[in-house]
Structure 1
Amino acid sequence: MATTFLFLLLSAIFIAKAQRGQSVVNPGSFLTPTTTTTTNSSWPSPSGRYAFGFYKQGSGYAVGVFFAGIPDKTVAWTANRDDPPVSAAVTLNFTSDGRLVLQLAHGTTKRVAVYGETASSASMLDTGNFVVYNADNQTIWESFQNPTDTLLPTQRLLYDDVLDSSVSESNQSTGRFRAIMQQDGFIALYPIGTPYYIEYGYWSKGIQGPPLNATLNLDVDGHLYLANGNGIVTISAGGNSTKGLLYRLRMDDDGFLRLYSYNTNRKGDWVVTWSADSIGKCDPKGLCGVNAFCVIYDEEYNCTCLPGFAFVDESKRTLGCERNLTVDNCKEGTYDMEEEINTVWENDTLSRCFHQT
């Protein structure tokens, strides 16, 4: 009897109703990383295409927006992406005073979304946008205005907005590459941490006209383009049927900006429908990490360590290399040096072995 009452109470707290195509989340609602008979792990959009809530990352869980209507939960947005995964003993609360927080196992809380007003409701929309509203039903926060590595249809990148790559498909922490909608009207790709100068960038596309008005846009039919008050510059033509097709633009962990499509009628995998042109496989600077360099084999890139170095992680060679010498070897103070021919060094990201005499 008590269990039934609790379930009915939770059902009343999370009211899913047809109101402008929204599923309404009210203060007092909460999620847990695993679904039980009385709790949910996510709040779905009306169609079930997207969901906001917990997803598996590494040995724990993260909070974000993901494609829920396909076999693999493809992540589109992540909250606090550089925080470590949380354990199963946490709760995501939409508190009675309108805060969206993680209640951690040791009793502390962590804001999932930061806004300056009191929230009265939230919604996971069918566009993939998670939105928080005030008492006047005005938007006070949305995931579309705080992108991580992905742009979804109807979402726009305004000037100075960025898409930062993730470490990998399975690790949504910030990676090494960035797509930025520049103030000069260009969408450009850079390694993270480098100045926004031509010599550091490795791809760009621009539009003539008022630069600060330029935006990067993705339509529901896969049309990817730059737009301002004077017109548009098409990057990927799109114009495809939208029936059963999903799209996402992602700044990938290898430094490439790619547009993907997914056919919900055929299932299968995401398919690349466009990739930034004129980029060589080894062009993204720093692709192979420190103490390594990039070479092309059979039209694909391959990372190779410098002589005397070994991969930090053999299964993920883009993480770079470290010396395969012991501390005792280093103290001896005698080392062999080998020349690497036909190699261009872009910077001094090398680790060295020092000893004092």
Structure 2
Amino acid sequence: MKIKFLITVLVIATIFSSYAYEKTYDISHVFYYTLTSVKFEEFVKNAEIISPLNANNKTITKDTILVGTPNDNPLIKKYIGFFEVKVNETYPGKDKGVIEKQIINGHTVVILTGSDIQGVYSSILTFANLNDLPDKPIICETFNKAEIYGIPSLDSKYFRNFVEDHLLTLKNIEEVKNISYHLRGDNKKETAENIAKWVAEHVKYDYGKAKKIENGKFEWKDIYNPPLKTVKTGRGICLDYATLTSALLLNDNITPYILDVYLYNESSMRLSKISHASVAVEINNTFFVIDQQPKLIPINEYTTQTFEGNLKIASIVMFKVVKERDKIKIIKYREIPGVAIYGDLVELLNMRFNN
């Protein structure tokens, strides 16, 4: 993973002093050339990392790195009073992170926290560049927004253009119009339910294609199918399901939202190499997800699901599919806050200490 961020680190000299030391550097180079103390290296290698991914029912029984905002990580919320800087939603402020060390239950505990997710990411990146455990609190901030996407992702304009030009053209959508007509219900919800059920019953998951993607040896045009081909073969992978579902919805005048879904392994806290795709529809101001199942799933329930391989959802990016006069446009609509950044801490520390 190559990460290039400029980070401004403000080190609090004392709680009573306004003096701050400021340093700017390219974080991607510091991993390999900054020496670390033996004590710091031993701490990182032996400490348990507890983030919102694995914080439930946890207690501090050894040296620990606590990661997340006080709202996301119950252990940080529980122990924040032990630390000098009392982090909350407004302090130290938007996009600002905090690194602090304290002894709790006889163990060294470091918190990587912040007022928001971006602040937490700042503390993660900064911590991965330290050469020793901090004696004083560190307040840090990144200049660049951290964004994590799977591969391939609709956030890539090249892949988005491929979907618009080869999978969801006006012609492609017209080819499945008869199916949409027969699935039209008395209202928006009934129509969406009919489409979800029909797709789940008529398309089977293609594990062979999925394996090719996992191995990384494929061409987009050889893997992903336009809607009619998915119907004729009766097989597909997640994006095939998503584009077919989107085409059927568009023909019935329902706006689909394709979801880029990023997954992580709960035990290792690592992001999956493969992202997932599904579709959402908005009904009475609530989003419902259509994802290879014969029913609509409220999005708040969908985000808690466990996927094959014991994977869970790290984050979701929604893309609105808009039918214009001469073509289909896929427009980034919303990011659903996720926990993908916590897996990055493991990756960064591995880069630093196991390189």
**Range of TM-score over shorter length:** under 0.3
Structure having the higher helix fraction is: 2
Relative to the length of structure 1, the TM-score reads 0.24
The alignment's TM-score, normalised by the length of structure 2, stands at 0.24
- Which is strand-richer, 1 or 2? 1
Higher relative contact order (CA 8 A, sep 6+): 2
